[in-house]
A and B are shown apart, each in its own frame.
Chain A
Amino acid sequence: MLNRSFLQLILVQIRDFYREPAVLFWAFLFPILMAWGLGIAFNKKPEVTKTIALVINEKESTLDFEKLFKNTQYDKKLDSLNDTYYYNITYGNENLGLTHFRLKPVSWQQAELLVKRGSASLILATNEGKLEYHFDKFSAEAQLAYLQLTSLFNGENLYEQQAVIKPMTEKGTRYIDFLIPGLIAMNVMMSTMWGISYTLIEARSKKLLRRMVATPMPRWEYILSHIVTRIVLCFAEASIIFAFAYYYFDIKIEGSIFAFIILFISGIIGFSGLAVLIASRTAKTQIGNGLINLIIMPMMLLSGIYFSYHNFPDTVIPFIQALPLTMLADGIKAIFNESAGFAEVWKYIVILNAFGLITFVIGLKYYKWY
């Protein structure tokens, strides 16, 4: 198999890859930036600030209002930026982190604007000495703010009650532990779908494919060289993401590394088959572009890369779990965070390989060489 033309074909693709700075950015730097950005954004938050829009009835004075939170400590602070003031109330405890509420006195219109723009999630209004809470009932963040504020005004602290609260900081339970395996899985999909599908379609649109099949080059060699190249490049990409996550976020593979490698290759094979199928007929790169996006976008959103798919209704979860990206991501997560080995992921390995093989065979059967 390892004859000269096969090696040449692989070499050509690797050269084509590393000589394109934009490709290098998307393949290596982008996933790292993504992991870094999301990891920072969702991880340690010792202190958060929440703005609350405060609408005070004209008939009442702010002094009446201030009586409402007589039970708590507050400071009246001047916002030097636009010469307005706000009330600052701090809530929470050392162990769980502190929340600073900024209650900003504004008109009703301004309050609505703050909510529309997302800078406040909750409007607090006074009506004849009574408090009214206005917020989107579907927003978990607003609900939390409501609970925290009511307990505050009652002079209690939800976090300082009888119950024992112990924050989980062990590895495998943080958001970043959820995110990194997902990003590694997603990178396999992106790299394979763009790297193989797009290259094949482009070769057809440039008539390069036509030119090559007019030589004694075996056709399977051409397609297979793309898959082998992708395995090499995906390993390089994943190593860099992992190395970053290892040093920066202290991510570790708790389970079987060998199972991970086999699962990873199975993922590449699964998506390679799909990539060949997608590329089998199209001669226009724009159409190829659309097709690839059509396949990867839903999986990016549904497969539990950025947030758990368990938020979706129970009826659709089995369908989500049948997506190749979900299988790969769930498998990698299990190996990374739940110490899983072959016993837990063999099903994914078998299905991904079978999926790759079937799509590959169909793609090859209908492949348009000219």
Chain B
Amino acid sequence: MSTPILEVIEVYKYFKNVKAVDGISFSVNPGEFIALLGPNGAGKTTTVEMIEGIQKQNKGTINISGLNWAANESKLHQIISLSLQETRFIDKLTVNETVQLFASFYKLPRTRVDEVIEIVALQEKKKSYVENLSGGQRQKLALAIALLNKAPLLLLDEPTTGLDPTARREIWNILMSLKKSLNTSIILTTHYMEEAEYLCDRIIIMDKGKILAQGTLEELLSANNSKEIIEFATIDNISEQFFCGDGIYKLIWDENAFTGKLIVKSIIEQLPIFLQKIKENGIKLTKLECRKLTLDDLFISMTGKHLGD
């Protein structure tokens, strides 16, 4: 096993009355692409900002290549690079000038400016003012700046939040090709399960400052391997006891929307029984969908709420 580039050990961060980060531990190996997945307020930003040295933990240890912020600040600025959740750059500066400014902080040559602008495909916007960029283009600019110093550890805080699907897809493609071409470890925070599934080697699921589960997508789902979902909607109310019996783990019933999720062992076995019951009780179905368990289902079964909420 290689030594991890990042070790987070029993880290706590409390604000006045919020436990933003409540004792988390994880590590990242060189070249690994990690997703910190969790809903708003889960503590993702606080976690990455502690790794970035922007916030200080109340308790716990953060090791980056064996270094810590208290003793190795200037070295760590070279090892770490980042994009913050919502940085706004200077409106009246062009893309090129903005990247050049940051390149000068790292004492990098002009050629590197062109390189990163090319990586994020902003060549055509080089001379545009930052204020005229779209949301996706701004995120690309933030990403270009994060790529400048070829840091071995890259932290991206919600790089696609608020973007439309096309723009999100573009960022994903850039990140995918980076993953292939560089030996960089990336930590990306998101509340989009598809993003974590698509991009990342390993997923850390967070909620209320705690890590609920971590592992590869397969690992996460295989713990619940034998679970499948029958999702349906009706025009009638249904009692919890209505569906029970062998092979049914749980009914998640939304009494406001009249939608239900039946977590079952096997769709093939349970679907006929389900339909039989519907028919016998004269219930009107408006929707029926059978599928494998997803990360979102997993999250709901752990917390009782959706990731996006």
Roughly how many angstroms separate A216 CA and B107 CA in the complex, as a whole number? 9
Residues of chain A touching chain B, judged by Cβ–Cβ distance below 8 Å, are 4-5, 7-9, 12, 15-16, 19-20, 206-208, 210-212, 214-217, 370
Roughly how many angstroms separate A15 CA and B102 CA in the complex, as a whole number? 16
The residues of A that contact B78 with a CB separation of less than 8 Å are 216
A217 in contact with B105 (CB, 8 Å): yes
Contact A215:B87 (CB < 8 A) given known A5-B107, A16-B93, A370-B54: no
Which residue of the partner chain, among B77, B92, B149, contacts A20 with CB atoms under 8 Å?
Answer: B92
Contact A207:B86 (CB < 8 A) given known A15-B97, A216-B78: yes
- Told that A5-B107, A207-B86, A216-B77 touch, could you supply 5 new A-B pairs with CB distance under 8 A? A8-B104, A9-B101, A19-B129, A214-B77, A215-B77
Q: Closest CB of chain B to A212's CB: distance in Å?
A: 7
B88, CB-defined interface residue at 8 Å: yes
The residues of B that contact A208 with a CB separation of less than 8 Å are 87-90
Roughly how many angstroms separate A164 CA and B156 CA in the complex, as a whole number? 83
* Interface 0/1 of B171-201, CB less than 8 Å to A: 0000000000000000000000000000000
**Beta-carbon nearest neighbor of A17 in chain B:** B92
B295, CB-defined interface residue at 8 Å: no
The residues of B that contact A212 with a CB separation of less than 8 Å are 102, 105
**Beta-carbon nearest neighbor of B75 in chain A:** A216
Roughly how many angstroms separate A211 CA and B102 CA in the complex, as a whole number? 10
Contact A16:B106 (CB < 8 A) given known A9-B101, A210-B84: no
Q: Closest CB of chain B to A46's CB: distance in Å?
A: 48
Which residue of the partner chain, among B82, B88, B90, B129, contacts A214 with CB atoms under 8 Å?
Answer: B82
B17, CB-defined interface residue at 8 Å: no
The residues of B that contact A215 with a CB separation of less than 8 Å are 77, 102, 105-106, 149
Roughly how many angstroms separate A4 CA and B102 CA in the complex, as a whole number? 11
**Beta-carbon nearest neighbor of B92 in chain A:** A19
8 contacts between A and B (CB under 8 A): A15-B93, A16-B90, A20-B92, A207-B86, A212-B105, A214-B54, A216-B105, A216-B106
The residues of A that contact B102 with a CB separation of less than 8 Å are 212, 215
The residues of A that contact B145 with a CB separation of less than 8 Å are 211
Roughly how many angstroms separate A320 CA and B305 CA in the complex, as a whole number? 63
The residues of A that contact B54 with a CB separation of less than 8 Å are 210, 214, 370
Contact A207:B87 (CB < 8 A) given known A214-B77, A216-B78: yes
Roughly how many angstroms separate A5 CA and B101 CA in the complex, as a whole number? 7
The residues of B that contact A12 with a CB separation of less than 8 Å are 90, 93, 97, 101
Q: Closest CB of chain B to A359's CB: distance in Å?
A: 26
Roughly how many angstroms separate A210 CA and B85 CA in the complex, as a whole number? 11
B53, CB-defined interface residue at 8 Å: yes
Give the contacts of B80-122 with A (CB-CB under 8 A).
80, 82, 84, 86-90, 92-93, 97, 100-102, 104-107
Q: Closest CB of chain B to A196's CB: distance in Å?
A: 15
Q: Which 10 A-B pairs have the closest CB atoms?
A: A206-B88, A5-B104, A19-B92, A217-B105, A215-B105, A8-B104, A216-B77, A211-B87, A4-B104, A207-B87
Roughly how many angstroms separate A60 CA and B53 CA in the complex, as a whole number? 90
B72, CB-defined interface residue at 8 Å: no
Which residue of the partner chain, among A16, A210, A211, contacts B92 with CB atoms under 8 Å?
Answer: A16
B2, CB-defined interface residue at 8 Å: no
The residues of A that contact B129 with a CB separation of less than 8 Å are 19
B101 in contact with A8 (CB, 8 Å): yes
Q: Closest CB of chain A to B91's CB: distance in Å?
A: 8
**Beta-carbon nearest neighbor of A209 in chain B:** B87
B74, CB-defined interface residue at 8 Å: yes
Roughly how many angstroms separate A16 CA and B90 CA in the complex, as a whole number? 8
B237, CB-defined interface residue at 8 Å: no
The residues of B that contact A4 with a CB separation of less than 8 Å are 104, 107
Roughly how many angstroms separate A204 CA and B214 CA in the complex, as a whole number? 35
**Beta-carbon nearest neighbor of A16 in chain B:** B92
The residues of A that contact B86 with a CB separation of less than 8 Å are 207
Q: Closest CB of chain B to A216's CB: distance in Å?
A: 5
B228, CB-defined interface residue at 8 Å: no
Roughly how many angstroms separate A7 CA and B90 CA in the complex, as a whole number? 16
Which residue of the partner chain, among B52, B88, B105, contacts A5 with CB atoms under 8 Å?
Answer: B105
A370 in contact with B55 (CB, 8 Å): yes
Roughly how many angstroms separate A216 CA and B74 CA in the complex, as a whole number? 6
The residues of A that contact B82 with a CB separation of less than 8 Å are 214
Roughly how many angstroms separate A216 CA and B54 CA in the complex, as a whole number? 14
